[in-house]
Amino acid sequence: MANASPPVNPLAVSAARKIAFEVLSRVAAEDAYASDLLHARLDASVKPEDAALATEITLGVLRWQRLLDTLLARHTKKTIQRLDLPVAIALRIGLYQIRFLERVPARAAVSESVELVKFARKTSAATLVNAVLRRSADESKIPAETLLAAAQREATRATCLAVLHSHPTWLVDRWLAQHGELKTVSILEANNRAPRVSCHTTNESQRDAVITALQNSGLRVEPGTLLRDAFSVSGGSVSRNEAFRSGALSIQDEASQAVPLLLAVERGQRVLDLCCAPGGKTAFLAHAAGDKGLVIASDLHSHRLRATREQLARVGAKNVRVLQLDASKPLPFANQFDRILVDAPCSGTGTLARHPEIRWRLTPEQLGGFKSIQSSLVSFAAENLRVGGRLVYSTCSIEREENEAIISDALAAHPKLRRVAPAEASAPLADKLASGFGLTQLFDSDGHFHTLPGPYGTDGFFAAVLERAR
């Protein structure tokens, strides 16, 4: 017993910081997604204020990880990546609070990070964590740009922006080449802000009543920035609200809400949602097709279909058949579809605010890694689209390799496919846009739909509208 670790008092660590520490540890060790882990962990047993702080710390640390590590390394003898993982995470959690959370006293951020390494059975690192964070607290009012000025004097502009805005240099490099510095900085800043919680009602006629119910429960509701019928909610958890539990509203980014509109689904049509999980777009398609229409919601992975079934049951969608499909094989039935949505797997570079861990996992080589499946999905859709039918290909990526390049290849491989003219492609959105928006802001000269993180408070999305020629 002489060599046993000293007892640790779990009550010395607040619930919020303990949850954040556990989630960040799993994100690093298991390549898990923080949003999924938080959703599973933050059940009704967790106080709303603890859930909010745990979410803020977890996602904030992931967004600002490179800058945090760079600042911390000034006070350690080795890079943060060479420290034991629990120690590195405790330091990041502490510095994030010191730098970014004004309502958290520095002494509390320091002391709880010390307790976190003890909780993780790394008591020998407590002195290091205490010393590094105390030094960091002493300089917390000095801008990071000033602290790092000497080190960045010889760095490229891409590297300077990448460190200060906490992104990989290679990603900043390519965005600078594609978008220029002004637009790139706007993307970087948007990626480091907590995204708006955008919502829409399942039934448009219930919108005013739902908003009133949300406000009466203490939540703040603001108009959407992109779509007239969308609205954002803050000041509490939407998913814990009765309006959400009853299926009266859904949470969905506004750009994501816009994509299924481009299909222009009509009553009674047959619709295929080829990569349906988690079901947000499927529910919209089912509502548009009506009781006499049919939506086939498919995905390759059965575990992803579970989330789709839960979503469809929550909103009461009846005209949907959920089916596990492999797009490399023929459909198990002969009928073709009036409308097909291919919301393809992609790098997710348009969602780095929502899924900040992606930026640290993605490599330049992986950007083309989805090309084969993206192209095969479009080919599968083209073969199962009726003459005169409409196909929408979309991604939550802002990279040309996954967007325009895939469409160019698809048009070359399938002569019967054609781009829908820009005016016709954008028409379904014309009367849905919020006041002040013009279609030219969202569609390029080829009729492709684009949003970037930043200007509209949305994720970055791409969509192309295609038709099978008669």
User: 30-76, pLDDT tens digit by residue?
Assistant: 989 999 999 999 998 999 999 999 999 999 999 999 999 999 999 99
Write phi, then psi, for 411 (nearest 5 degrees).
Answer: -65, -35
Same topology between domain 10-154 and domain 198-251: no
Question: What is the distance between the alpha carbons of residues 440 and 442, in angstroms, rounded to a whole number?
Answer: 5
Class of domain 10-154: mainly alpha
Topology of domain 198-251 in CATH is: Alpha-Beta Plaits (3.30.70)
5 DSSP 8-state letter: P
User: Mean pLDDT in the chain?
Assistant: 93
Over residues 190-211, the mean pLDDT reads: 93
Over residues 169-178, the mean pLDDT reads: 97
Identity of the amino acid at 378: V
Over residues 96-118, the mean pLDDT reads: 96
The pLDDT-based confidence of 7 (bands split at 50, 70, 90) is very low
Over residues 102-117, the mean pLDDT reads: 95
Q: Given this model, what pLDDT does residue 114 score?
A: 97
Q: Given this model, what pLDDT does residue 6 score?
A: 41
pLDDT of 240 over the 90 cut: no
| Helix H or strand E encompassing 226 | none
Classified as helix, coil or strand, 21 is helix
Rg (CA), the chain: 24
CA proximity to 458, closest of 441, 470, 446: 441
How many other CB atoms are there within 10 angstroms of residue 225's CB atom?
A: 18
Question: What is the distance between the alpha carbons of residues 86 and 121, in angstroms, rounded to a whole number?
Answer: 9
- The predicted-structure confidence for 243-267, as pLDDT tens digits, reads as follows 999 999 999 999 999 999 999 999 9
The pLDDT-based confidence of 227 (bands split at 50, 70, 90) is very high
pLDDT of 321 over the 50 cut: yes
- The predicted-structure confidence for 340-399, as pLDDT tens digits, reads as follows 999 999 999 999 999 999 999 999 988 888 999 999 999 999 999 999 999 999 999 999
Percent of the chain with pLDDT over 70: 97
**What is the architecture, at CATH level 2, of domain 254-468?**
3-Layer(aba) Sandwich (3.40)
Q: Which of 186-200, 227-241, 329-343, 444-458 has the lowest mean pLDDT?
A: 329-343
pLDDT of 468 over the 90 cut: yes
The pLDDT-based confidence of 456 (bands split at 50, 70, 90) is confident
More confident residue, 13 or 357: 357
Cβ neighbours for 21, distance < 8 A, ≥ 6 positions apart: 13, 86, 89, 90, 93, 116, 119, 120
pLDDT of 2 over the 60 cut: no
More confident residue, 181 or 455: 181
More confident residue, 395 or 5: 395
237 DSSP 8-state letter: -
Q: Given this model, what pLDDT does residue 327 score?
A: 79
Cβ neighbours for 109, distance < 8 A, ≥ 6 positions apart: 93, 94, 95, 97, 98, 101, 133, 137
CA separation, residue 355 to residues 22, 324, 348, 370, 393 (Å): 17, 26, 8, 18, 22
Question: What is the distance between the alpha carbons of residues 260 and 252, in angstroms, rounded to a whole number?
Answer: 12
- The predicted-structure confidence for 410-451, as pLDDT tens digits, reads as follows 999 999 999 999 999 999 999 899 987 788 889 999 999 999
Are the C-beta atoms of residues 312 and 297 closer than 8 Å to each other? yes
| Helix H or strand E encompassing 390 | strand 385-395
Per-domain boundaries in the chain: 10-154, 198-251, 254-468
